Amino acid sequence: MNTRICTRMGLIAGGFVGVLVSLVNTQSNCCGTPVFPATFAQLAMDGLVVALIAAFLTAAFICLVSHLPLKPVFLLALYIGVVTGVLLGWLAYHIHNPGLALVVCAYLGAALGSLVCRILCGDAGALRTVGAR
């Protein structure tokens, strides 16, 4: 199996992080500045929660449709969700257009998902080696 599952999981998690965290930025006062400045830790936590929810729902759908083993798919979802959420939460907050944040974070999430899969599983076999660990 190749890295398509990881890429798609990262794409979906990154897209959700982009839209939802960017929408947090739209809540502002009358002058257009945020009501309270968010720290990197808060944005990383927001992105982490959104990415983990999206990645786990995606993993559940993947397991339901393609009958893959649960443990390796959910481990990949955990790793991809953590990396995508922490790295893209801050970026999505600072992109003021939610549509642009969706596109940028979805592409970066796909790249991060593919990178995580290549690091954990090597070039060949996306799900065979993760479950064996």
Long-range (24+ apart) CB contacts under 8 A made by 67-75 are 68/5, 68/127, 69/127, 69/131, 71/131, 72/127, 72/128, 72/130, 72/131, 73/5, 73/127, 75/130, 75/131
Does 96 have pLDDT greater than 50? Answer: yes
pLDDT digits (tens, 9 = 90+) for 66-90: 888 899 999 999 999 999 999 999 8
If residue 109 lies in a helix (H) or strand (E), which one and from where to where? Answer: helix 98-121
pLDDT digits (tens, 9 = 90+) for 37-66: 778 888 899 999 999 999 999 999 999 998
Give the N- to C-terminal CA distance of the chain in Å, as an integer: 17
pLDDT digits (tens, 9 = 90+) for 18-40: 999 888 766 655 565 656 677 88
Whether this model's pTM surpasses 0.85 = no
CA 121, CA 80: separation in Å to the nearest integer?
13
pLDDT band at 1 (very low <50, low <70, confident <90, very high): very low
- 30 DSSP 8-state letter: T
Long-range (24+ apart) CB contacts under 8 A made by 28-36 are none
Does 133 have pLDDT greater than 50? Answer: no
Half-sphere exposure of 61 (CA within 13 A, CB side): 10
Angle at alpha carbon of residue 39, lines to 41 and 87, rounded to 5°: 50
Going from N- to C-terminal start, the domains of the chain cover: 4-24+39-132
